[in-house]
Amino acid sequence: MATKTYLAIDVGASSGRVLAGVFDGERIRLEELHRFENGPTHAAGGMYWDLLLLWKNIQEGLKSAKAKYGDDIVSMGVDTWGVDFSFLGDDGELLGNPRHYRDPRNKKAFDEALQIATREEIFAETGLQFLDFNSLYQLYAMRQADSSILDAATDFLMMPDIFHWLLTGEKGNEVTNVTTTQLYNPVTKGWSKKLIDKFRLPSVFKEILPTGTNLGKLRAEVAAATGIRTAEVILPGTHDTASAVAAVPAAQSSGKTPNWCYISSGTWSLMGVETTHPVINAKCAEYNFTNEGGVGGTTRLLKNIGGLWLVQECRRIWKEAGHEYSWSELVRMSEAATPLASLIDPDHASFSAPANMPQAIRDFCTRTGQTPPQSEGEVIRCALESLAMRYRQVHTWLQELTGGEINTIHIVGGGAQNALLSQFAADSCKCRVVAGPTEATAVGNLMTQAVALGDVGSLWDSREVVRNSFSVAEYQPRNTTAWDEAYGRFLNLLNK
């Protein structure tokens, strides 16, 4: 086939990129065309995303793509994080900047919402894990505040839906992101009218669009601004984790249950398996797992783990104090620290948004009767080893929920570059770890476009392209006895 170029607009919670994927029929090659920062903006007691600045940067990236690849560009698609949203009014006007999922109003709304409907009722309806920033609780916070925006809204659009609307003028809610709202029923495959009515939410929810939907070409003004006139806009797995999982370079399992799991590793660690159907039962609810939509009609049975946010925040605090460490320097310092000296629960509420992450880690160790880490290397080693311990716990639960043995963990995303964390995961979970590709979200986005356009046959065919295109690193477990002993300590501290 002739070479084709697809564009991935990949917007994460800390940065965004526009990347080109050049596909020759067997391999895909990536090129980053434009990178930009992202993060919360604090205003009037709330936390927001600067939507229009993000849109400006997306257009700059598209201009760069046109300058480099011209009419070879055949399609583009947007992925972002989940749960966050904004609205359009009946005149098509955008009603304000989207709130950030760490906005302080969410915790109170979450607690109050569980007085309206029980955990059991909500989980039976949605199969989704309970996180206080899920869209349901953000919407309920607006209802409780008598939000004028909610009263004026006619169209609910999640973050990637907003960008696809800005690109094309088409309004809809792509399924993989919809499944993060805790307002989607994975059995009926539609919006949960039961919860929408129970929480007195308005009729603003759009048609749920399948992954791979072709939205058509760019708005005339966007085409004029960017120079891209013939490319199609294709919905990838718009939830970034859905796209990342689509790029896991695994071979199709022969059994009924998968023999591999994934960790999409970045600010969060999303650890789970890909299944053909949702798992909604008492044990899944007890472990607080979630059933989210995957590419190709699959279900992502997974758990959110507080990932490299721990390290990112430590690095930020040290930089503010005048010590700017590179990622490689932090790894070297942690390698020199004493192994398994102290551990934390990476999902403890005290690590959600502390003013000083290194001190929060030390304080947790002190409260749980451990010697707190002092040096930067000790703090980072504590964080990474604790993440690996949490991976082991979730790995055990996944095998229980699926009824099969999981002997390989695929780590994809930026965290796959952290060789020390990958080795810790192999040591802790006592199984093979395959790390890569690092740009999994963009790759999954691009390959979904290729499948939608008929350039690749299926999800599993696209994974073969990924295996042909990107190198990976493999890690085998070592010194598991020491990790077994430390895992007992880890489980004990979770109960303190």
d(CA 455, CA 5): 11
Q: What is the pTM of this model?
A: 0.92
Supply φ then ψ for residue 135, to 5 degrees.
-55, -35
The fold for domain 239-436+472-496 equals: Nucleotidyltransferase; domain 5 (3.30.420)
Catalytic residues: 240
3-class secondary-structure state, position 108: helix
- If you ran DSSP here, which 8-state letter would residue 295 be given? G
Name 247's Cβ contacts closer than 8 Å, sequence gap at least 6.
412, 437, 440, 441, 443, 444, 447, 463, 466
**CATH topology of 4-238 equal to that of 239-436+472-496?**
yes
3-class secondary-structure state, position 301: strand
Neighbouring C-beta atoms of residue 459, cutoff 10 Å: 21
pLDDT at res. 13: 87
3-class secondary-structure state, position 247: coil
pLDDT at res. 183: 98
pLDDT at res. 255: 67
3-class secondary-structure state, position 414: helix
In order, the DSSP letters of 172-211 are -EEHHHHTTSS-EETTTTEE-HHHHHHTT--S---PEEPT
Name 409's Cβ contacts closer than 8 Å, sequence gap at least 6.
260, 261, 262, 263, 391, 395, 425, 426, 429, 431, 432, 433, 434
| Highest CATH level, class, for 4-238 | alpha beta
d(CA 231, CA 224): 13
Q: What is the mean pLDDT of each run of 10 residues along the chain (496 residues)?
A: 93 94 97 96 94 98 98 98 97 95 93 96 96 96 96 97 98 98 96 97 96 98 98 98 96 80 94 95 94 95 94 97 95 96 96 94 97 98 98 98 95 95 98 97 98 97 97 96 97 88
Q: Where are the beta strands (DSSP E) in 211-353?
A: 214-216, 232-234, 260-265, 269-275, 290-293, 299-305
What is the rounded average pLDDT for all residues in the chain? 96
| b/e burial code for range 416-425 (CB count within 10 A of at least 16 → b) | bbbebbbbbb
Q: Which amino acid is at 379?
A: V
- For the chain, the domains span 4-238, 239-436+472-496
Decide if 32 contacts 60 (C-beta within 8 A): no
d(CA 387, CA 405): 21
Residue with tokens 């790995």: 395
Name 46's Cβ contacts closer than 8 Å, sequence gap at least 6.
99, 103, 104, 105
d(CA 319, CA 173): 39
In order, the DSSP letters of 10-47 are EE-SSEEEEEEEEE-SS-EEEEEEEEEE--EEEETTEE
pLDDT at res. 496: 74
User: What tokens were used for 398?
Assistant: 């996944």
Residue with tokens 């001190």: 359
With the C-alpha atoms ordered 417, 418, 420, 423, is the resulting torsion angle positive or negative?
A: negative
The predicted-structure confidence for 208-224, as pLDDT tens digits, reads as follows: 999 999 999 999 999 99
Decide if 98 contacts 162 (C-beta within 8 A): yes
